Amino acid sequence: MIYKISPLPLDIDLETKAVLKKVTSARSALAELKGSVVGIPNETILINTLSLQEAKDSSAIENIVTTQDELYQFDTFAEKFKNVAAKEVHTYAGALRSGFEIVRKAGFLSNNHILEIQGTIEANNAGFRRVPGTLLKNDLTGETVYMPPQSYDEIVDLMSNLKKIYQRRLVKRLGSAYQNGGHSSSIRKHSPFL
């Protein structure tokens, strides 16, 4: 079965009892982490470790499997990695760090930012995919696990939909900030979508 991406907002209730219980424990864990980070002289160490772990786990979904040992046995400056999978995971981790810095500086994530991050992963500036035929398959069974949107127009429509939802939430958040004493010029400065 091929999954079809639905436009946002999804017509499902995400605020179930189970989800809300998890939100409470996640919030507590994040607060604890935030408190711990203050004592770290260089927060980049934590970000790099977390991004490597996330990239490793995300890559496993695409059958790019590597071990913790292989991840940490590399020479960044010479770009020598234990294997191709470890190099790919490091590329993803670099893109995560790049995205983190972009959002930290800009305060938002735009389609252009997403394309910049994609360029980090693919080492080119090709933009959104224009050629159909991309499939994610299980290497062992050959079964199609995921087929992303195939047409350029569909990809652009989905990204525009994401941007529209993001803008609505941003406007709502900024409107609330403005009502609480924020100034119009500073709100516009931090939100180029307005």
Written as six digits, the tokens of 135 are 């499939």
End-to-end CA distance of the chain: 40
List Cβ neighbours of 177 (8 Å cut-off, separation of 6 or more).
Answer: 187
In this predicted structure, what is the pLDDT of residue 2? Answer: 66
Question: Average model confidence (pLDDT) for the chain?
Answer: 79
Using the predicted structure, report yes or no on whether residue 95 has a pLDDT greater than 80: yes
List Cβ neighbours of 104 (8 Å cut-off, separation of 6 or more).
Answer: none
Q: 0.75 cut: is pTM over it?
A: no
Distance of alpha carbon 72 from the chain centroid = 22
Using DSSP, state whether 144 is helix, strand or coil: strand
Q: How many CA atoms lie within 13 A of 20 on its CB side?
A: 4
In this predicted structure, what is the pLDDT of residue 186? Answer: 46
Q: How far is CA 32 from CA 29, 100, 150, in A?
A: 5, 20, 42
Report the interhelical angle of 152-179 vs 111-122 (nearest 10°): 130
Distance of alpha carbon 127 from the chain centroid = 16
Using the predicted structure, report yes or no on whether residue 6 has a pLDDT greater than 80: yes
In this predicted structure, what is the pLDDT of residue 152? Answer: 93
Which residue do the tokens 């910049």 mark? Answer: 116
pLDDT digits over 135-167, tens only? Answer: 888 778 888 888 889 999 999 999 889 888 887
Written as six digits, the tokens of 118 are 């994609």
Rounded average pLDDT over 55-63: 71
Using the predicted structure, report yes or no on whether residue 42 has a pLDDT greater than 60: yes
Share of the chain above pLDDT 90, in %: 16
